[in-house]
Amino acid sequence: MANKEQKTPVIVNRKASHLYFVDETFEVGIMLIGSEVKSIRDGKCTLGEAWIDIDEKKNELWLVGAHIDEYLFANRFNHFPARRRKLLAHVHEISKMRKAKEQKGCTLIPLKLYFKNRRAKLEMGICRGKDQRDKRQDIINRDAKLEMARAAKAHR
């Protein structure tokens, strides 16, 4: 188990799968303070209203709108819950994201926040918004799957 990569899922943005089609995903690092890491490990983070902003001048990615609660035992060394957090990605990935964002209707959304080999990673996606009929179709498909599962369980 020394060489295996361990992924520990902590926070999932369930709202994103309902509101957006995910075209492509990227795994990026995230710069955090110690109290933020402890709070995330406790599951005290929300990504529902978060998005990713690209700084054109410095060619950097920023996570905006993510709320990480203050860590209870950090005292005066605590962090500000709604601050912008810098994301770490390769230059070619950032340029690919910038080109995708320039297209009409595309945005960068955080999908998952997890730990991989003790480092915090963010899975983000290039997303397009869903129409109301697409959302309804997803609900119909989900209900059909549930009905089939119930019927299969009752049949056994």
pLDDT of residue 134: 77
CATH number for the segment(s) 7-130: 2.40.280.10
pTM (two decimals): 0.76
Helix (H) or strand (E) holding 114: strand 106-116
pLDDT of residue 18: 81
- Asked if 43 and 11 count as a contact pair (C-beta separation under 8 A), the reply is yes
pLDDT of residue 57: 86
- Mean pLDDT, the chain, as a whole number? 85
Q: How many CA atoms lie within 13 A of 77 on its CB side?
A: 8
- Asked if 11 and 40 count as a contact pair (C-beta separation under 8 A), the reply is yes
* Cα angle, residue 63 at apex, residues 57 and 65 outer, rounded to 5°: 120
Tokens found for residue 10: 């902590």
| Count of Cβ atoms closer than 10 Å to residue 131 Cβ | 8
Domain boundaries, the chain: 7-130
C-alpha to C-alpha distance for 33 and 120, rounded to whole angstroms: 11
Over residues 124-153, the pLDDT tens digits come to 999 888 877 777 888 898 899 999 999 998
C-alpha to C-alpha distance for 51 and 101, rounded to whole angstroms: 12
pLDDT of residue 118: 85
